[in-house]
């Protein structure tokens, strides 16, 4: 089932994620986090870093798997997801870089790197909590519309829309945005035990409405969340603005039994 939480701010959304992640790490210091890039998870990582510090949480055994990576020869590029995950999550939260995995976008044998990535996730016992953003076309990770809903980690070709959306990270220059990526498949993502999808702003409203209330279809990869046993969609009012059941979602959130945490 998908739980929809409509929050007042990105900070509130970030706090909800961080509370769930900290609860998990307290219960299991060897927890495995699924990590996402993009601007959406910023507040979540900031809140997690703060809570880890305040609660003196030991995160030295926490493991992390990134969702995706560009296919690019220089993974030290500041916009490679290796660099982004390191800068925005590993360093501020204080994770051990040796426990953090990002698909090898510079691999000579890409199919092999993809199957080894899925195996590494399985060998780590699977992902406990996977944070997700969403593309304006409904993609999760880099699973563009048309991605099989049971897909494993594999190479994908980015759509023009995604490259245009991400050009802001490459000096606004579309030519610098890689055309291919390695991404956890929708099937890989669906194996995580808890999915937390965050979305903010009007530009995400159509994708959120299609994902939460539309048909389950490969043309909107995030709609697969409807089939997940524990998916939480946390949106601000703008991202919720095209949902038809807003009052109901708010009522459900306000009347949640105390034992039911995120
Ligand atoms: N691969 C990432 C996705 O994981 C992310 O969800 C999406 C949205 O990014 P933003 O959060 O910046 O809107 O961008 C990229 O395509």
Tally of domains in the chain: 1
Between CA 26 and CA 21 the distance in angstroms is: 9
- The answer as to whether 259 is a domain residue is no
| Whether residue 40 has its Cβ less than 6 Å from ligand 1 | yes
Q: Does the beta carbon of 142 sit less than 6 angstroms from any atom of ligand 1?
A: yes
What domain range is 48 assigned to? Answer: 3-254
The token pair at 204 is 């995400």
CA nearest to 28, candidates 129, 117, 102, 118: 129
d(CA 83, CA 75): 7
Does the CB atom of residue 134 touch ligand 1 within 6 A?
yes
Please report the pLDDT score of residue 15 as a whole number.
97
Catalytic-role residue among 144, 165, 228, 236:
144
User: Is 261 within a domain?
Assistant: no
Kindly tell me the burial class for residue 83, based on how many C-beta atoms sit within 10 Å of its own C-beta (0-12, 13-18, 19 or more): middle
Residue 105 Cβ contacting ligand 1 at under 6 Å: no
In 3D space, the residue among 183, 184, 188, 166 whose CA is nearest the CA of residue 175 turns out to be 166
Residue minimizing CA distance to atom 15 of ligand 1 = 38
Asked whether residue 244 is assigned to any structural domain, the reply reads yes
Q: What is the per-residue pLDDT for 258?
A: 80
Q: ipTM above 0.85?
A: yes
pLDDT for res 261? 82
In a domain, 149, yes or no: yes
Q: What is the pTM of this model?
A: 0.96
Strand ranges across the sheet with 68-70: 68-70, 180-183, 154-157
CA–CA dist 144, 190 (Å, integer): 15
* 77 part of a folded domain: yes
135 Cβ below 6 A of ligand 1: yes
Whole-number Å distance between alpha carbons of 191 and 204: 24
Q: What is the CATH number of the domain that holds 172?
A: 3.40.50.1360
96 CA distance to ligand 1 centroid (A)?
24
Instruction: Report the separation in Å between the CA atom of 38 and the middle of ligand 1, taken as the mean of its atom positions.
Output: 4
Ligand 1 pocket test, pick from 102, 131, 135, 221 with the greatest ligand atom count within 8 Å of Cβ, gives 135
CA distance 85 to 169: 14
User: Active-site residue 42, yes or no?
Assistant: no
Is the C-beta atom of 65 inside 6 A of ligand 1? no
Distance 118 CA to ligand 1 centre (A): 21
Has residue 262 been placed in a domain? Answer: no
Out of 69, 128, 137, 165, pick the active-site residue: 137
Ligand 1 site, residue 141, Cβ cutoff 6 A: yes
Q: What is the pLDDT of residue 259?
A: 80
CB 23 within 8 A of CB 51: no
**210 occurs within a structural domain:** yes
Catalytic residue among 101, 139, 194, 228: 139
Residues of the chain with pLDDT under 50: none
Q: Which helix (H) or strand (E) holds 65?
A: strand 63-66
């Amino acid at each position: 089932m998908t739980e929809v939480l409509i929050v007042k701010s990105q900070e509130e959304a970030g706090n909800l994620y961080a509370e769930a992640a900290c609860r998990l790490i307290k219960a299991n210091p060897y927890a495995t986090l699924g990590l996402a890039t993009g601007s959406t998870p910023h507040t979540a990582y900031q809140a997690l870093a703060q809570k880890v510090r305040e609660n003196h949480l030991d995160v030295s055994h926490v493991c992390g798997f990134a969702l995706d990576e560009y296919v690019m020869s220089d993974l030290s590029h500041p916009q490679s997801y290796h660099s982004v995950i390191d800068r925005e999550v590993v360093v501020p939260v204080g994770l051990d870089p040796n426990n953090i995995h990002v698909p090898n976008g510079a691999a000579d044998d890409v199919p092999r790197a993809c199957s080894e990535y899925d195996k590494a996730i399985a060998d780590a016992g699977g992902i406990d909590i996977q944070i997700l953003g969403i593309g304006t076309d409904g993609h999760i990770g880099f699973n563009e519309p048309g991605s099989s809903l049971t897909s494993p980690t594999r190479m994908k070709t980015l759509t023009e829309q995604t490259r245009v959306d991400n050009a802001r990270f490459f000096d606004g220059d579309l030519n610098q945005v890689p055309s291919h990526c390695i991404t956890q498949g929708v099937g890989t993502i669906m194996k995580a035990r808890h999915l937390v999808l965050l979305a903010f702003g009007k530009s995400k409203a159509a994708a959120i409405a299609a994902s939460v209330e539309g048909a389950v279809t490969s043309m909107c990869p995030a709609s697969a969340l409807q089939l997940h046993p524990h998916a939480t969609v946390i949106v601000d009012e703008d991202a919720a603005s095209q949902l038809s059941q807003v009052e109901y979602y708010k009522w459900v959130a306000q009347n949640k039994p105390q034992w039911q945490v995120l």
